[in-house]
């Protein structure tokens, strides 16, 4: 049941002992990095000052801005000739960010992903299809190498071309699929159009979903549609990509691999640590990376550490599903709103499909929220029924987010479909 | 005396109606009457056509949210006051009309209506010898 029992079955004290060893080695190694060398000097800090895990907090945070400012190679802790791969994420503003990998890094990354996939029950006789974009997007090659490492027949279907995707699933006997949640729902729609019954005509049993925040309701719905178990995956390109944290078969929180990362959850405003169970910004320190270790990297993702033990026996901490990114938070009329709150409400209505779009706009110097949501196959000949449905959705949303949105019911398939991450929020507000 | 009407949920956006009509055209289905009210964001497009069941199927297959509804179809002589007479009979029998539209076909007026109590409406129509259209008549119209 464990791919790496030597790491997966460690007790808390063993994990912490290993973490301290690896942290100390990492910090020493980071003195080869121009950025960290300078940072440590500025803060009169030496690697020898890190004597306990608590000393980690003496090290300054690393931010996305640091990655941009040092673009492309200014954080690397090894000479470039030791690196064999880079991944770059395009920034909408300013420089993109670059993450470098040595051969050892790629190897450890594949191990981490393989460990995750094994944990949810995948074995070498499974057929794994990856509908992520390949290329710079880490969900492509990350899952490819991990699934191959586990020994599965791996289909690099890549993003898009939904009909071909479905043909692969049926022809190759795909048993496990990696897809972002909105695309999993899209696959089901197209299967219905093609007359493919996922239960009868495919061997799908496991779905790996991640890369965009989704609610428990949406997960259950996708499981129901495709007749699979869907496991939540968390990764980010700054931390290699997929394989950072993953749900076990208990589907209750994502185990973060603490032999790779040290986890902190901090209050995004005060940057002070919050107790287990409270939501804050996830801060990660890589302790198993060679080319480009990151110390106390502020991920911008909001989550919490779930208190208590997991029935699966692993003592690696569990992260709650991501609450969204601190950058994703909508502030409307002074109220903090996360798109995931809206999604959770919408998914409770069986008349509604899984696609929605939140638009923020200014009308008469008043900021307003409009929620366009697609109807599922549901139709009525009765305007009264439509109005009642709209009223009920509006009422429940208001109870949740404390502002009253305009709700528009739109026909199935009318919202823009993307092969990549679904666009859920459009902000058209006029700045003051 | 009831015939099947298709109701399609459409968005109030340029091109929405055309998409529906194109699908029916491709399938060779002839529209006899149709109606839509002006609405703010979305509306229900109601259609009487030659083969309602097949029309429903092709619309559904094309991804539209559609449904079949039974509506009453009365035939009225082309004379002043016939619609008033028919509606008075229904109203006096306590029947409320949810919606109604009418059109001319082969010199006769056709009144499509959806009543709150369809069974009672049927009784009243029979008792008063009003003329109605049956499903099988539809194909004869085109
Ligand atoms: Zn577990």
Min Cα separation A339/chain B (Å): 22
For B71, nearest residue in chain A (alpha carbons): A381
Looking at the fold, whether B16 and B43 belong to one and the same domain comes out as: yes
Angle in degrees, CA A161, A162, A163, rounded to 5: 95
Looking at the fold, whether B81 and B36 belong to one and the same domain comes out as: no
* Token representation of residue A291: 């080319």
β-pairing verdict for A176-178 and A206-210? parallel
**Residue that is last in its domain, among B48, B69, B90:** B69
Looking at the fold, whether B65 and B91 belong to one and the same domain comes out as: no
Instruction: Tell me what pLDDT residue B11 has.
Output: 84
- If you average pLDDT over residues A18-36, what whole number do you get? 97
Looking at the fold, whether B56 and B75 belong to one and the same domain comes out as: no
- If you average pLDDT over residues B64-77, what whole number do you get? 90
* Token representation of residue A410: 């739109």
Q: Are A356 and A343 in contact (CB under 8 A)?
A: yes
Given a cut of 90, whether residue A169 has pLDDT beyond it is yes
Q: Residue B41 belongs to a domain with what CATH number?
A: 3.30.2130.10
Domain for residue B20, yes or no? yes
**Residue that is last in its domain, among B32, B48, B69:** B69
Pairwise CB contact (< 8 Å): A410 & B63: no
Give the model confidence (pLDDT) of A249-306 as tens digits: 999 999 999 999 999 999 887 899 999 999 899 999 999 999 999 999 999 888 999 9
Domain for residue B46, yes or no? yes
Looking at the fold, whether B8 and B55 belong to one and the same domain comes out as: yes
Chain B CB within 8 Å of residue A269 CB: no
Looking at the fold, whether B44 and B77 belong to one and the same domain comes out as: no
Q: A170 Cβ partners below 8 Å, 6+ apart? A: A196, A201, A202
* Token representation of residue A336: 């903090």
Domain for residue B142, yes or no? no
Looking at the fold, whether B23 and B39 belong to one and the same domain comes out as: yes
| Rounded Cα–Cα distance for residues A43 and A312 (Å) | 42
Start and end residues for every CATH 3.40.50.12780 domain found in chain A:
1-327
Looking at the fold, whether B93 and B57 belong to one and the same domain comes out as: no
Q: How confident is the model at residue A172 (pLDDT cuts 50, 70, 90)?
A: very high
Instruction: Tell me what pLDDT residue A136 has.
Output: 86
Across A105-114, A382-391, B15-24, the highest mean pLDDT is recorded for A105-114
Pairwise CB contact (< 8 Å): B11 & A375: no
* Token representation of residue A83: 């690196």
Looking at the fold, whether B82 and B127 belong to one and the same domain comes out as: yes
Among the partner-chain residues A193, A383, A411, the one whose CB lies closest to the CB of B10 is A411
Looking at the fold, whether B64 and B112 belong to one and the same domain comes out as: no
Q: How confident is the model at residue B12 (pLDDT cuts 50, 70, 90)?
A: confident
For A372, nearest residue in chain B (alpha carbons): B41
Q: Which residues of B touch A194 (CB under 8 A)?
A: none
- If you average pLDDT over residues A307-331, what whole number do you get? 87
- Buried-state track A92-131, b at ≥16 Cβ within 10 A, e below 16: eeeeebbbbbbeebbebbbbbbbbbbbbbebeeebbbbbb
Domain for residue B141, yes or no? no
* Token representation of residue A395: 């009422």
Q: Which residues pair with B6 in a beta bridge?
A: B47, B68
**Residue that is last in its domain, among B18, B43, B69:** B69
Range of the domain at B124: 71-136
What ipTM was reported for this prediction? Answer: 0.79
Architecture of domain A1-327: 3-Layer(aba) Sandwich (3.40)
| Rounded Cα–Cα distance for residues A196 and A162 (Å) | 13
Topology of the domain covering A330-427: GMP Synthetase; Chain A, domain 3 (3.30.300)
Q: How confident is the model at residue A150 (pLDDT cuts 50, 70, 90)?
A: very high
Q: Are A431 and A383 in contact (CB under 8 A)?
A: no
Min Cα separation A351/chain B (Å): 11
């Amino acid at each position: 049941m464990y791919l790496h029992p030597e790491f997966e079955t460690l007790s808390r004290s063993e994990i912490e002992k290993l973490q301290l060893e690896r942290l100390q080695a990492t910090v020493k190694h980071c003195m080869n990095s121009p950025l960290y060398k300078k940072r440590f000097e500025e803060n009169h800090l030496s690697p020898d000052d890190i004597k306990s895990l608590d000393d980690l907090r003496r090290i300054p945070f690393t931010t996305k801005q640091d990655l941009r400012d040092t673009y492309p190679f200014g954080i690397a802790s090894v000479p470039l000739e030791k690196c064999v791969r880079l991944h770059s994420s395009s920034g909408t503003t300013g420089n993109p960010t670059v993450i470098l990998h040595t051969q050892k890094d790629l190897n450890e990354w594949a191990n981490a992903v393989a460990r995750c996939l094994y944990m949810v029950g995948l074995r070498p006789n499974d057929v794994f299809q990856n509908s992520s974009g390949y290329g710079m997007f880490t969900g492509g090659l990350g899952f490819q190498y991990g699934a191959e490492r586990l020994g599965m027949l791996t289909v690099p279907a890549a993003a898009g071309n939904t009909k071909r995707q479905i043909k692969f699933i049926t022809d190759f006997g795909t048993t496990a699929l990696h897809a972002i949640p909105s695309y999993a729902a899209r696959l089901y729609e197209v299967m219905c159009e093609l007359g493919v019954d996922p239960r009868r005509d495919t061997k799908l049993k496991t779905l790996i979903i991640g890369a965009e925040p989704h609610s428990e309701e949406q997960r259950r719905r996708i499981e129901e549609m495709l007749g699979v178990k869907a496991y939540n995956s968390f990764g980010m390109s700054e931390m290699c990509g997929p394989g950072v944290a993953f749900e076990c078969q208990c589907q209750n929180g994502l185990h973060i691999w603490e032999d790779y990362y040290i986890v902190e959850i901090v209050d995004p405003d005060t940057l002070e640590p919050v107790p287990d169970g409270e939501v804050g910004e996830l801060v990660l320190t890589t302790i198993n990376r060679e080319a480009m270790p990151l110390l106390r990297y502020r991920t911008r993702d909001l989550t919490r550490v779930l208190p208590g033990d997991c029935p699966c026996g692993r003592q690696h901490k569990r992260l709650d599903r991501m609450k969204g990114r601190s950058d994703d938070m909508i502030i409307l009329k002074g109220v903090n709103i996360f798109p995931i709150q809206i999604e959770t409400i919408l998914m409770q209505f069986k008349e509604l499909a899984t696609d929605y779009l939140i638009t923020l706009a200014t009308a008469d110097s008043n900021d307003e929220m409009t929620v366009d949501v697609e109807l599922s196959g549901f139709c009525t000949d009765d305007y009264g029924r439509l109005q009642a449905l709209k009223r009920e959705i509006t009422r429940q949303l208001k109870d949740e987010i404390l502002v009253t949105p305009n709700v528009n019911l739109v026909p199935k398939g009318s919202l823009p479909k993307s092969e990549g991450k679904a666009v859920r929020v459009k902000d058209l507000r006029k700045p003051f | 005396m009831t015939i099947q009407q298709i109701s399609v949920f459409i968005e109030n956006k340029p091109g929405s109606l055309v998409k529906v009509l194109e699908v029916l055209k491709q399938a060779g289905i002839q529209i006899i009457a149709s109606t839509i009210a002006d609405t703010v964001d979305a509306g229900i497009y109601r259609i009487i056509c030659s083969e309602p069941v097949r029309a429903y199927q092709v619309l559904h297959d094309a991804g539209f949210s559609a449904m079949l509804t039974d509506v009453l179809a009365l035939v009225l002589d082309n004379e002043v006051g016939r619609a008033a007479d028919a509606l008075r009979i229904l109203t006096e029998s306590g029947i409320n009309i949810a919606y109604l539209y009418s059109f001319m076909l082969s010199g006769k007026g056709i009144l499509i209506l959806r009543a709150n109590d369809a069974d009672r409406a049927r009784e009243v129509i029979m008792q008063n010898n009003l003329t109605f259209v049956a499903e099988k008549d539809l194909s004869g119209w085109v």
